[in-house]
Structure 1
Amino acid sequence: MISRVTHNVLNVARAVEKNFFQMLGYPPRELALAYVHEKPATKTQKKFTIKDIVGDGLLLAVPKFRRTLERRWKRKYGFPEYVWKMLVPKNNIKVCSDCGHYHESGRLCGHCYKKVEAETKEIQAKIQEQQGNKPIENDVIVLYEGDNLPEKPQEFWKGKRIIEMKKERPKWFSKNLLEKTTQQPSSSTDVKPTDLA
């Protein structure tokens, strides 16, 4: 029993001494006689290679088990009680009155919008040609051939930039599309009830 206790005390003392010397360094040479330090056997340094890291192979983050068919179908098509992802036929398709193409109700006709997109790009190119890469800080007024300048006071035209398009205005492109709203913002604080049952 006593030998076991002394053995444990010696182990603790050695551990404390080792940690103490590692923190503060080994004693100076003058005290070398009082302290006998066993030097670890010098190891021959081996050349470090990638094989030391890789070993026999790499373990990648891959799934351990195969997904069942049921799980795959649930991910792909959903589950009727939770998220149903099946393709459902749309019932809100209507025919465009202008071009005859189909589109969803409540959305612009994609075929008609291509005309608007092309005209907008043309206007942007004209602005780029006149203004360059400077920021657009003023209002822009687009005038087509045959458009009359609106009768406005002189203060209206101050700071405005006029872009002249050398072609006639398309029939679908009304002047109202370029003008700001004429309706003044409401000052009332009453809130109209909506979606009441």
Structure 2
Amino acid sequence: MIPRFTHVLQLMKNVERNLFHMFGYHPPKELALAYVHEKKPVAIPKKFSLKDIVGDGFLLAVPKFRRTIEKKLKRKFGTPEYVWKMLVPKNDIKVCQTCGHHHEKRRLCENCYTKIKKETEEIQGQIKEKLGINPIEHDVVVLYKGETLPDQPKEFWKGKRIIEMKKERPQWFSKNLLEKTTQQPSKSTDVKPTDLA
């Protein structure tokens, strides 16, 4: 019953609206929503440039805050729980038997090494002065002031070059340092455990 009544009422409203429209009358003043369609302007895509990212200057990877004193000390000395980098006195110092200077165990004596380095550079200077900078293919014999050639067969001196130093040989600079070993290489192919080293 109610749907029929609603249907009839809707038909009467449609007929009334059509009659008003035919005779030129305005529609009844009712509340109605009005919508005006406006076309929005299409946004033009902006060209990408490096200046948009960088701006007025480059962003460098620099620290933003100063490091505190506590962190500085921790980086410098460490912490006792993890890594302790405090200055600890060394117990592995020994006296050199040659010159009497102190040096660490399992390391060369710095004083002896400096003397040997200086003497070696003087020998190299004499070799460069006499033989030039060409590659030396043969052995070089170094003779200091007051030294004579050792008695060796002619085959020993074949192709060797002699360099004379204008000073006396230092006491610590042994003659055997520049001489080759006299031991003949072994020809055996058997290797024993005692001869490995």
Match of 2:123 in 1: 123
Do the aligned partners of residues 80 and 177 (structure 1) sit closer, same or farther apart at CA in structure 2, a change above 3 Å counting?
farther
- Per the TM alignment, residue 129 of structure 1 is displaced from its structure 2 partner at its CA by 0.3
TM-score (normalised: structure 1): 0.59
* Equivalenced residues, count: 149
- Per the TM alignment, residue 190 of structure 1 is displaced from its structure 2 partner at its CA by 2.8
Q: 1:190 aligns with which of 183, 187, 192?
A: 192
Separation of aligned partners in 2, 1:62 and 1:127: 54
Do the aligned partners of residues 159 and 85 (structure 1) sit closer, same or farther apart at CA in structure 2, a change above 3 Å counting?
farther
Tell me the amino acid that sits aligned with residue 147 of structure 2: D
Separation of aligned partners in 2, 1:181 and 1:109: 25
Do the aligned partners of residues 131 and 83 (structure 1) sit closer, same or farther apart at CA in structure 2, a change above 3 Å counting?
farther
3-state SS of the aligned residue for 2:165? strand
Match of 2:166 in 1: 166
Separation of aligned partners in 2, 1:192 and 1:70: 58
Tell me the amino acid that sits aligned with residue 169 of structure 2: R
- Per the TM alignment, residue 74 of structure 1 is displaced from its structure 2 partner at its CA by 4.5
Superposed CA deviations along residues 43-88 of structure 1, whole A, max 9, x for unmatched, are xxxxx9x967742432111245665666544433345566543332
Separation of aligned partners in 1, 2:139 and 2:78: 50
Segments of structure 1 that go 5 or more residues without pairing to the other structure are 1-40, 42-47
Do the aligned partners of residues 95 and 53 (structure 1) sit closer, same or farther apart at CA in structure 2, a change above 3 Å counting?
same
Do the aligned partners of residues 193 and 145 (structure 1) sit closer, same or farther apart at CA in structure 2, a change above 3 Å counting?
closer
Match of 2:16 in 1: none
Percent same amino acid at aligned positions?
A: 69
Superposed CA deviations along residues 106-130 of structure 1, whole A, max 9, x for unmatched, are 3332223322222111111100101
After superposition, residues 93-132 of structure 1 pair within 5 angstroms as: 93-132=93-132
After superposition, residues 55-74 of structure 1 pair within 5 angstroms as: 55-63=55-63, 72-74=72-74
3-state SS of the aligned residue for 2:167? strand
TM-score (normalised: structure 2): 0.59
Please give the root-mean-square deviation of Cα atoms over the aligned residues, in Å.
Answer: 3.6
Segments of structure 2 that go 5 or more residues without pairing to the other structure are 1-43
After superposition, residues 1-197 of structure 1 pair within 5 angstroms as: 54-63=54-63, 72-78=72-78, 83-185=83-185, 187=188, 188-192=190-194
Do the aligned partners of residues 71 and 190 (structure 1) sit closer, same or farther apart at CA in structure 2, a change above 3 Å counting?
farther
Do the aligned partners of residues 92 and 160 (structure 1) sit closer, same or farther apart at CA in structure 2, a change above 3 Å counting?
same
